[in-house]
Amino acid sequence: MSDEQTCQRCGETVELEKEDFELFERMHPDCFHFAFEHDLTKPGIGADENCGDDACPVGA
Protein backbone atom coordinates (compact mmCIF):
# COMPACT_ATOMS: atom_id res chain seq x y z
CA MET A 1 0.00 0.00 0.00
CA SER A 2 1.32 3.37 -0.98
CA ASP A 3 0.25 6.27 1.14
CA GLU A 4 0.82 8.70 -1.69
CA GLN A 5 -2.10 11.06 -2.06
CA THR A 6 -2.95 12.08 -5.60
CA CYS A 7 -5.21 14.98 -6.47
CA GLN A 8 -8.43 13.90 -8.22
CA ARG A 9 -8.44 17.07 -10.29
CA CYS A 10 -4.88 17.79 -11.43
CA GLY A 11 -3.17 14.46 -10.73
CA GLU A 12 -0.33 15.97 -8.72
CA THR A 13 0.77 14.69 -5.32
CA VAL A 14 -1.04 16.35 -2.42
CA GLU A 15 1.02 17.03 0.68
CA LEU A 16 -1.65 17.26 3.34
CA GLU A 17 -2.66 15.41 6.46
CA LYS A 18 -4.91 12.50 5.47
CA GLU A 19 -7.87 14.06 7.27
CA ASP A 20 -7.45 17.31 5.38
CA PHE A 21 -6.98 15.44 2.10
CA GLU A 22 -10.32 13.66 2.65
CA LEU A 23 -11.92 16.95 3.67
CA PHE A 24 -11.00 18.46 0.30
CA GLU A 25 -12.50 15.49 -1.61
CA ARG A 26 -8.99 14.13 -2.30
CA MET A 27 -7.84 17.29 -4.02
CA HIS A 28 -5.57 20.24 -3.35
CA PRO A 29 -7.39 22.97 -1.43
CA ASP A 30 -6.99 25.19 -4.49
CA CYS A 31 -8.28 22.48 -6.84
CA PHE A 32 -11.24 21.94 -4.54
CA HIS A 33 -11.94 25.65 -4.64
CA PHE A 34 -11.92 25.72 -8.45
CA ALA A 35 -13.98 22.53 -8.68
CA PHE A 36 -16.75 23.49 -6.27
CA GLU A 37 -16.57 27.08 -5.10
CA HIS A 38 -14.89 29.36 -7.61
CA ASP A 39 -17.87 29.96 -9.92
CA LEU A 40 -20.62 29.70 -7.30
CA THR A 41 -21.06 33.42 -6.85
CA LYS A 42 -19.92 34.40 -10.35
CA PRO A 43 -20.95 31.73 -12.90
CA GLY A 44 -18.63 31.59 -15.89
CA ILE A 45 -15.80 33.37 -14.12
CA GLY A 46 -12.34 32.59 -15.50
CA ALA A 47 -9.69 30.67 -13.58
CA ASP A 48 -7.54 33.81 -13.59
CA GLU A 49 -10.14 36.05 -11.98
CA ASN A 50 -10.62 36.45 -8.24
CA CYS A 51 -14.11 35.27 -7.33
CA GLY A 52 -14.27 37.27 -4.11
CA ASP A 53 -14.11 34.23 -1.85
CA ASP A 54 -11.60 34.46 1.00
CA ALA A 55 -10.27 31.08 -0.07
CA CYS A 56 -9.72 32.14 -3.67
CA PRO A 57 -6.07 31.57 -4.65
CA VAL A 58 -6.29 34.03 -7.55
CA GLY A 59 -4.89 37.51 -7.09
CA ALA A 60 -4.07 36.97 -3.43
What is the contact surface with Zn ion in residues (CB under 5 A)? Answer: 7, 9-10, 28, 31, 38, 51, 53, 56
Closer residue to Zn ion, CB minimum distance, 15 or 19 = 15
Minimum separation from the CB atom of position 3 to Zn ion (A): 17
Between the CA of residue 28 and those of 11, 34, 50, what are the distances in Å? 10, 10, 18
Closer residue to Zn ion, CB minimum distance, 3 or 8 = 8
- The region, left, alpha or beta by phi > 0 then psi within -120 to 50, assigned to residue 6 is beta
Minimum separation from the CB atom of position 58 to Zn ion (A): 6
